[in-house]
Structure 1
Amino acid sequence: MKRLALLLLVLSQLSFASAYDAHPKLVVVIVIDQFRGDYLQRYHNEFGEGGFRLFTDHGAYFSDCYYDYATLVTGPGHATIGTGSYTIGHGIMANEWFDPQINERVTSVSDEATHIVGVEGGQGSSPHNLLTDTFGDELRMATQGRSRVFGISMKDRAAILPTGHSANAAYWLDGKSGAWITSDYYMKALPPWVEAVNHSDEAKKFLNRDWKDAAGKVMGNTNPRNDEDGQPEDYFEIVGSTPFANDLELDFARSLITNEKLGTRATTDLLVISLSENDILGHAVGPDSPILHASIVELDRQLAGFFQFLDKQFGMNNVWLALSADHGVAPVPREVQTLHMPASEMDTKQFTEKLNEEIAKTTGKPGKYLRSAGLPMISLDPASWSDTKEADAEQIVGEAAVRTGALAYFTKSDLAKGRVPETPMGHKFANTYSPYGGWWVMVQPRPFTIPKEDGTTHFSPYSYDAHVPLAFYGVPFAPGVYRGHSEPIDLAVTLSSLLGTNKPAAATGRVLTEALKPPPNPPAGEKHLVK
């Protein structure tokens, strides 16, 4: 009877488990940069039991997860995962944009009011451009700061944006040295344990090494080398495109969990880890390369080792895991052209020149009307439009872009007023509005068209850039493959609901109830009343 009573008590407590009583002890969100949604099924048979299969075979796996906005790059993707909203809610429309207040380009997280901490000199970074909060912020507010929230990535924007305004710290890599750094937005000096990591040989141990595939074939190395100008390449460039970069990040995550004593307090803690290697390598070789294939299989092994660490530290019944990506990637045009796909490379310089010529036909005079004309964003130079209103100038540029080869255009002025076609593509661009960036126009390129460069890239509203994984593992999730439609904005809202907090202020995602186990029934004779 005593054992039965104890069991019923535990079940009763589990039915009301939440962040407020440290159920779970720790939430870990894994974001893999440039990890397309089809990879999990493409390489499933090569994965071991403890890595990706923890999600696909033993967790709640959503195979039909697509972003529903138009600029699929790192900054907006990470902001979307954290806030549960698209750019129209969080404001982050690109990795960088023109700031008319200071008359120069800025990154999504650069902040003149902050300084780098961990290496000498340099402007710092912060989430000050983020227009709303994240589910990590809601967790911190709900527990009056008792829950702790951290972000880790090789890239500053990927560490900062998904964690939000109130994170205890975001750490990223100094590209030149491989040291872990942050900004004085979070702290005035690195904690002693981070200093110890930087002063050890943690980063250096990944230099001068070959990396091999599962069969032992050498796929690359981290030997120091010079760039095209004869200068030594940075640590980021040498190690970043190899699986050793994932080892570097996951080792740092282990140190953070241990030294910050995550998961040992009376409320739930959160750690967001964004793994950058897949993006750095993917740009160079494309999604169908044997090298990327080998890297993904190696990442599966690395994640399995990290999850074993979590199990040893906390027991997996006390940990929830979530997996997603910030964007996918386009195939290399010249590779899929052999399959008669209408893929092409666009010369950005030629596009800009032709666009200026087309604009001049409308204005009646030649001029440098644009600051930049990449895809999908065309940035206007207001100084060249002194006699033209912003909305009119943007329309002229948009119409010229269509004559130059774009399928459609969306001006900032129209998006600000919600004037878009009532179509799925119009909806994607409506979700991409931001007040930042001065005067601009977004264009819809033709499918499988990318700027001319070695390798490939991502930026478009099409499926190859928008399809990403979404999966969960932990006590509240009902294992299974869920093929109904989902979006990355659902991650933040689902975790907020389970943790018992408010969802982020601008969130538009839904709680993925189809993948949640029903709570246990209360003990016999006991009623849970809502007053």
Structure 2
Amino acid sequence: MMLVLLLGSFPGVAQKRKSNVKNPENPKLVIGIVVDQMRYDYLYRFWDKYSKDGFKRLIGQGFNFRDNHYNYVPTYTGPGHASIYTGTTPAFHGIVGNDWYNRETGRNTYCAEDKSVKSVGSSSKAGEMSPVNMIASTITDELKLATNQKSKVIGLSLKDRGSILPAGHAANAAYWYDGSNGSMITSTYYMQDLPEWVKAFNKRNLADQYLSQPWTTLLPLEQYTESTADDQPFEGTFSGEQKPVFPHNIPAYRGKTFDMLRSIPAGNTYTRQFAEEAIKAENLGKGSVTDFLAVSFSATDYVGHQFGPNSIEVEDTYLRLDQEMAALLKFIDGHLGKENVLIFLTADHGGAHNPTYLQQLRIPAGTTNNKAMTDTLEKRLNQKFGTAEWVSKFMNQQVYLNHKVIQSKKVNLLEIQEETARIMMQFPGVARVFTADNLLRNNWTVGLGMMVEQGFMYARSGDVMVVSQPGWYDNYGRAAVKGTSHGSSYGYDTHVPLLWYGWQIPAGESTVRTHITDIAPSLAAWLRIQEPNGTTGRSLVEYVGK
């Protein structure tokens, strides 16, 4: 009797016990929403004019991480989307810019380019794209792996990189907009022919309809009190337009293509409509496992670049985007129900105030000129090391030195890197420089050094990284800077929204410092799957309380 009792207490001896462990519950659908170039303060600057059903609903019924930042530079669209979905930085996922200089080919490499695939849905080369340049897995890849490929994963955006990188390597599909024919297209990486529902959507000719209407303000012009007056010298114009003022006569300026849809709020309407069609036609959220839809709204970026963050155009675009959010949430209510869908909303980067506008307010700001800096750098290097083409490229705030010339001239690479850094520090608007050797030999855990290091990959990045002073950015050789740009390590480019909503998400907020790389591991924790293989972020589930 005693022997039986003792055996019953040892591991491995079968015992009948009532389990209190419940089967894991997962959302039926995850929807990732990225708003291109959405500064964090847009949530509140236009608050009084938002409806109760869009951004206010996401914040009021969801969880708001108010101090969410990018933790690397440069802050661009390609790296941003890749970092959101891989849970790591360019140092590990490899998307170090929208483009980067390739020393082997002597040309720029676009982050989503893939000449081994063909366009599907277009006769143009706009479909020669895939995720092959991204060298880490995404949370969408991990979902496919966790469910033995049963989950459906679809990415969509007006921008190819805003669709392809979030969808990951194992996606069922990624779709993006081709301005040459006004249609959503894909590539042979995913399929050989467009699904019938995509063909039917394209046949509706929505792009042509939207481009046949002028862009007028949603509200009376005098109510846009959060923005500067309509006609400003630091705002850009559409080609052929005399002044950057409402109404914008889109039919007169659109030209012979459909590209302008990207640059008006209707581009976001088009994206939202395509997202709803994807959910319905693909029966997303209707299966036995979790599905994933990655949506990126891109028109905000084009409008921001052209008009700047203080323009009425940007405010009007966000008031209209608020309506798109309300429409999407209403659609989800009817199709799946809020309780079955987990949504996050964030941005791929922010945007700077226009330096001319800041200077008018006596706030320090300025512009650099990459071409002039490169010419001066080349001249100074010639004086020290002899005449040669020492510089291959200056882009993404990085100097790429010509390694082949350096080797042939028997110049020490570290010496010419240090000399380049010394020269670059002398230009107005430059705050710091880092050489590739600095980044390889050191390990920063905080501050600017950490941000530069986490955006650096030796095989794809430059030899010298240049950090501008706050409020400064490249003028691309233009006499007057219009609109805005982004890419810096400062809050106006790094501080972006992070909202969670829907499935098991309580209402609340936190001011804990979070990073964009925390999104993917948080999703992994909620879905009870493996985080992406390069993840360096952390799960935020404990702060949300679920």
Same fold (TM over 0.5): yes
Matches within 5 A, 1:355-370: 355-363=377-385, 365-370=386-391
- Where does residue 424 of structure 2 map in the other structure? 401
Q: In structure 1, the residue corresponding to 2:400 is in which secondary structure?
A: strand
Which of residues 288, 293, 310 in structure 1 aligns to 2:332?
Answer: 310
- CA–CA distance in structure 2, aligned partners of residues 206 and 95 of structure 1: 28
Q: In structure 2, the residue corresponding to 1:114 is in which secondary structure?
A: coil
Which of residues 315, 323, 332 in structure 1 aligns to 2:345?
Answer: 323
Which of residues 214, 232, 246 in structure 2 aligns to 1:210?
Answer: 214
Q: In structure 1, the residue corresponding to 2:329 is in which secondary structure?
A: helix
In the alignment of these two chains, the number of paired residues is 494
- Where does residue 102 of structure 1 map in the other structure? 105
Q: In structure 2, the residue corresponding to 1:173 is in which secondary structure?
A: strand
- CA–CA distance in structure 2, aligned partners of residues 377 and 422 of structure 1: 21
- CA–CA distance in structure 1, aligned partners of residues 257 and 418 of structure 2: 42
**TM-superposition CA deviations, 1:59-101 (whole Å, max 9, x none):** 1001111111010000000000000101112111100112233
**1:42/1:49 Cα in 2 relative to 1: closer, same or farther (>3 Å)?**
same
- CA–CA distance in structure 2, aligned partners of residues 109 and 369 of structure 1: 28
Matches within 5 A, 1:16-95: 16-18=23-25, 23-95=26-98
- Where does residue 7 of structure 1 map in the other structure? none
> Is the contact made by 1:208 and 1:221 (CA closer than 8 Å) also made in structure 2?
no
- CA–CA distance in structure 1, aligned partners of residues 437 and 212 of structure 2: 52
- Where does residue 133 of structure 1 map in the other structure? 137
Matches within 5 A, 1:60-459: 60-122=63-125, 124-217=128-221, 218-225=246-253, 232=255, 234-236=257-259, 238-363=260-385, 365-385=386-406, 386=408, 387-405=410-428, 406-415=430-439, 417-419=440-442, 424-437=447-460, 439-452=462-475, 453-459=481-487
- CA–CA distance in structure 1, aligned partners of residues 156 and 418 of structure 2: 41
- CA–CA distance in structure 2, aligned partners of residues 166 and 439 of structure 1: 30
**1:350/1:198 Cα in 2 relative to 1: closer, same or farther (>3 Å)?**
same
- Higher-Rg member (1/2): 2
- CA–CA distance in structure 2, aligned partners of residues 278 and 369 of structure 1: 38
More divergent stretch after superposition (248-257 vs 377-386): 377-386
**TM-superposition CA deviations, 1:107-163 (whole Å, max 9, x none):** 011012111111115261111111110111110000000001111111111111122
Superposed CA RMSD in Å reads 1.9
Q: In structure 1, the residue corresponding to 2:493 is in which secondary structure?
A: helix
**TM-superposition CA deviations, 1:297-332 (whole Å, max 9, x none):** 111011100110111101111111100000001100
> Is the contact made by 1:87 and 1:93 (CA closer than 8 Å) also made in structure 2?
yes
Q: In structure 1, the residue corresponding to 2:263 is in which secondary structure?
A: coil
* TM-score normalised to structure 2 length: 0.86
Query: How far does residue 196 in structure 1 lie from its aligned partner after superposition?
Result: 1.8
Taking only the aligned residue pairs, the percentage that are identical comes to 32
- CA–CA distance in structure 1, aligned partners of residues 496 and 252 of structure 2: 33
> Is the contact made by 1:418 and 1:430 (CA closer than 8 Å) also made in structure 2?
no
The alignment status of 1:482 with 2:494, answered yes or no, reads: no
What 5-or-longer segments of structure 1 have no aligned partner? 1-11, 227-231, 519-531
> Is the contact made by 1:150 and 1:168 (CA closer than 8 Å) also made in structure 2?
yes
Query: How far does residue 31 in structure 1 lie from its aligned partner after superposition?
Result: 0.1
- CA–CA distance in structure 2, aligned partners of residues 468 and 369 of structure 1: 38
Query: How far does residue 438 in structure 1 lie from its aligned partner after superposition?
Result: 6.6
**TM-superposition CA deviations, 1:227-261 (whole Å, max 9, x none):** xxxxx36422x221111000111111111111111
Query: How far does residue 407 in structure 1 lie from its aligned partner after superposition?
Result: 2.1
Q: In structure 1, the residue corresponding to 2:512 is in which secondary structure?
A: coil
- CA–CA distance in structure 1, aligned partners of residues 387 and 273 of structure 2: 56
> Is the contact made by 2:339 and 2:504 (CA closer than 8 Å) also made in structure 1?
no
**TM-superposition CA deviations, 1:402-422 (whole Å, max 9, x none):** 12342222223432x242566
